[in-house]
Amino acid sequence: MAEERTSDEFSWARFEAMPIVGILRGFTSRQTLLAIEAAARGGITTVEVTLDTDGAEAMIAALRERFDGALHVGAGTVRSTGDLDGALRAGAQFIVTPVVLPDVIRAAGERGVPIFAGALTPSEIHTAWSLGADLVKVFPANLFGPSYIRDLRGPLRGARLMPTGGVTVETIGEYRRAGAEAFGLGSPLFARERVEAADFEWIEEQAKRFVALLRGDEATSRGAPPAG
């Protein structure tokens, strides 16, 4: 592989302006590229390719070159420090784990790489945050819904939460009002049947809906096609 890329181009200001992480898992490199292009046209600025996708590292490297700073490109489903090393060599600008992995969280922090650590229970969330996670990915969020995020905000005030798994156009506003600071979107944005049917217009419009909702533009969000 080419020389190691670093994650120093990650912009927290840009991410916080549109705190959505679009998640792509198990698509071909061509499908991934076209789906991301559609989402970017809709206003999405941050995406991750999960490492359990065939050829994920090569995809991350190609996406970094293709978008050249216009998008944040990260690696998801990072489960070991070996995965972390491979993701960073490919140019991943941020790292997402599925569960609390102390070695990975610490290693990412030592390298100055943004780390979004997966957790679910209050104890796991506290542990991930204490270890230095920049965001805690609450997964699967749909198991308990927006009220769970609201309840966590009391005893775990200060932890930055990113619900992932089942966040939809119907619920993203509730999650935000409950105190979520970012959102992970997989199939609600990159629905497998839409990607495989090359229905990239749907993905672009779906992205616009999510973006409009976060920006409080209810009129625009109502004017887009229904999800599903």
Active site residues: 48, 137
Are 158 and 140 in contact, with CB atoms under 8 Å apart? no
d(CA 78, CA 204): 27
C-alpha closest to that of 117 among 97, 103, 132: 97
Contacts of 178 (CB under 8 A, 6+ apart): 146, 147, 149, 150, 153
d(CA 120, CA 163): 9
